[in-house]
Amino acid sequence: MNDIRPIRARSGTNQEGTSAHNRRVMIDALRRNGALSRAELARATKLTKQTVSNIIEDLERDGLVSSGASVRKGRGQPSTPYSLVPEGAFAIGLQIDRHVVRAVAVDLVGTVRVKMDANLPAGGPAEGVKVVLHIIERARRELARTAEQSERRLVGLGVAMPGPFGMQSDENDPWMMAAWQSFPLLETLAAGTGLDVGLQNDAAAAATAERMTGAAHGVDHAICIFLGYGLGAGLILDGQLYNGYSGNAGEIGMMLCHPANGKIGAGARLEHHASLATLCRALDLDPGDPELYGCIERAALEFGPAMAAWMRQAADELRWTVQLLESVFDPQTMILCGGAPAALTTRLIDAMHPLLPSIAERPSRSMPRLQLGITGPWSVALGAASEPISRTFDPRFSAILKTPASSALE
């Protein structure tokens, strides 16, 4: 009987000078599938058994992979399964939002090891960055207390904040953090921490979290709709996060709604109708309230008239948005995620059904067209922490071409 299980992996290359790419391919295969034998890795990645053996030995020496007890399948020789070592690498992620900074530390497999938050003071980034640097230092100390060699294996710092980036905006525009965007944040954090620093918008960070440990884990084509103060989307295309030319891909909150009167006026952007900011306005809640999350959760459970009215409008707008994104990107699934409570996002998904007809209605579907992803106040920080892990270990052409994106761990 043929007992060969399907394994999700990218193809490696047996050409010389591509060991960095092949290492990433092997790590990615183990992340997506769990424990695999050398034979399974060779079959899935299309690498020779000798190449797989050489890389596995290197990864074991580097503390990234470990072997398990031998397993006998059928009449053949017993095989040894290999798995990622969670303590092989660590990363820290930051969510910098309008009133708060959240920090999360994760290990190589995406498990949260540390999380903490702090309120941002008035005075903008000049004062706020002091709080940010302090919380990074606290997170590093806590991680070092609970995980040996965490400092030596810390691969980077990921930062997520609301976009879009690089656009002119009014300093008082509540939808954009203009002062923080014009501040030399990455340079300041790199100098203050000694870490490699990467930046994403909050929707892209949420999609990175989904790809690492959430509903998009192992999925090559998914669109993650991020419901936060604003509205955005993270685009997972061909197994990789697509950022666009200026890092603003997926800024669906900026899309203009179709005007009923033929004229586009104030409040025409999609996020002016479907976002937590508009929900706060509808419920007369203060977005800066430390208890905001609990207030929204209670309102979603009670489901009073104001919540019901907001839900109807948001569901109508997002129903059209799902159909549009399906038509453009043809994803395997759409995922609703973000900083809202699950009680709210679950109701919103229910209100969006039935979904509009689209090319996604295929008899061969194995995944739902729309599903619930990671929700809650820590989702963006989790994605920000996952980004340095992805940047260091995921397969990408830069590893083949030896561009600066290649990690020193390779």
- Residue range 165-196, pLDDT digits in tens: 876 655 555 556 778 888 999 999 999 999 99
Query: Where in the chain are all domains bearing CATH 3.30.420.40?
Result: 89-205+382-401, 215-377
What local confidence, expressed as pLDDT, does residue 77 receive? 73
Residues forming a β-bridge with 105:
92, 114
pLDDT attached to residue 63: 95
pLDDT of residue 236: 95
Confidence tier at 288 by pLDDT (50, 70, 90):
confident
Instruction: Answer yes or no: is pLDDT of 402 > 60.
Output: no
Give the pLDDT score at 75: 65
Assign 3-class secondary structure to the chain.
Answer: CCCCCCCCCCCCCCCCCCHHHHHHHHHHHHHHHCCECHHHHHHHHCCCHHHHHHHHHHHHHCCCEEECCCECCCCCCCECCEEECHHHCEEEEEEECCCEEEEEEEECCCCEEEEEEEECCCCCHHHHHHHHHHHHHHHHHHHHHHCCCCCCCEEEEEEEECCCCCCCCCCCCCCCCHHHHHCCHHHHHHHHHCCCEEEEEHHHHHHHHHHHHCCCCCCCCEEEEEECCCEEEEEEECCEEECCCCCCCCCHHHCECCCCCCCCCCCCEHHHCCCHHHHHHHHCCCCCCCCHHHHHHHHHHHCCHHHHHHHHHHHHHHHHHHHHHHHHHCCCEEEEEECCCHHHHHHHHHHHCCCCCCCCCCCCCCCCCEEEEEECCCHHHHHHHHHHHHHHHCCCHHHHHCCCCCCCCC
19-84 folds as Arc Repressor Mutant, subunit A (1.10.10)
Mean pLDDT of the 250-254 span? 91
Tokens of 368: 């739902």
pLDDT at res. 14 = 52
Burial class (CB in 10 A: 0-12, 13-18, 19+), 315: middle
pLDDT band at 296 (very low <50, low <70, confident <90, very high): very high
Out of 50-59, 238-247, 343-352, pick the least confident: 238-247
CA–CA separation, 14 and 130 (whole Å): 48
Please, what is the average pLDDT of the chain? Answer: 88
Kindly report the CATH number that applies to the domain delimited by 89-205+382-401: 3.30.420.40
**Predicted model pTM:** 0.86
Q: How far apart are CA 410 and CA 405, in angstroms?
A: 11
Asked which of 247-256, 264-273, 311-320 is least confident by mean pLDDT, the reply is: 264-273
The band of 407, judged by pLDDT with boundaries at 50, 70 and 90, is very low
pLDDT at position 315 is 96
Mean per-residue pLDDT for 231-253? 91
CATH 1.10.10.10, the chain: domain bounds: 19-84
Which pLDDT belongs to residue 406?
Answer: 38
- What mean pLDDT do residues 214-224 have? 94
CATH class of the domain comprising 215-377: alpha beta
